[in-house]
Amino acid sequence: MALRVYPLDTTGSAATNLTETEIHSVSYNADADYHFIIPTYAPFYTRNFQIFRRVGANLIPLTEGMDYHFGLYFETASASTGLPIYGAVVLNRMDESSIYEIRP
């Protein structure tokens, strides 16, 4: 994948910075205390963040606080923009391997 450089967008809403859909596979590991995804386009704003779990041909939307939470908080960047910025998605479900889809 080619390196992309995006213009500074302190609002998190510039059309020039819209990312592509990302597919991530998470493998079950009985020894793990947590499972997480670091999106290709991290760090990211949490506003309008969408993540889905693939089950067969269906996409099941995940709910923040119940199915996942954000991790790797970028404190200085968040303070500078006034918007929360994170670098990872921590998955609460750890009982099976799954494919996840992050959409812009």
What pLDDT, on the 0 to 100 scale, is given for residue 1? 58
Rounded to two decimals, what is the model's pTM?
Answer: 0.86
Q: How do residues 7-65 score in pLDDT, each as one tens digit?
A: 788 887 888 777 789 999 999 988 888 899 999 989 999 988 999 999 999 999 999 99
Three-state DSSP state, 103? strand
Contact indicator for 26, 35 with CB cutoff of 8 Å: yes
Q: How do residues 57-99 score in pLDDT, each as one tens digit?
A: 999 999 999 999 999 999 999 999 999 999 999 999 888 899 9
Contact indicator for 36, 53 with CB cutoff of 8 Å: no
**Res. 4: pLDDT tops 80:** no
